[in-house]
Amino acid sequence: MIITIKSFGIAAEICGSRTLKMEVPNDCSVEHLKELLANRYPALSELLSYRIAVNHVYELDAFLLKELDEVAIIPPASGG
């Protein structure tokens, strides 16, 4: 399936875009998505950390993605 991934802040700089399309297996886990992202954008692993949000909620590695999910790369927060 093809999912749409939003990216923000330094992640958008690394990915070169605020919205990515990515081919992933059906029922792709968050963990597997992170591996695919690391292959395509090695600089992401230079971040102190980043999380994946699905439909505006932080999700853990075991979470399985669906095609229409709103997926986002969330680099470390730094508001205030």
Binding site for another protein (CB under 8 A): 6, 8-10, 12-13, 46-48, 53, 56-57, 72, 74-80
Nearest to another protein of 25, 45 (CB atom): 45
Least Å distance, CB 38 to another protein, is 16
How many Å apart are CA 62 and CA 29, to the nearest integer?
6
Give bridge partners of residue 29 from the DSSP assignment.
Answer: 64
**73 residue type, one letter:** I
Residue with smaller CB distance to another protein, 23 or 46: 46
Output the furthest CA–CA distance in the chain (Å, rounded): 38
HSE toward the beta carbon, residue 52, CA cutoff 13 A: 25
Nearest CB to another protein, comparing residues 36 and 74: 74
Beta carbon of residue 36, minimum distance to another protein (angstroms, whole number): 21
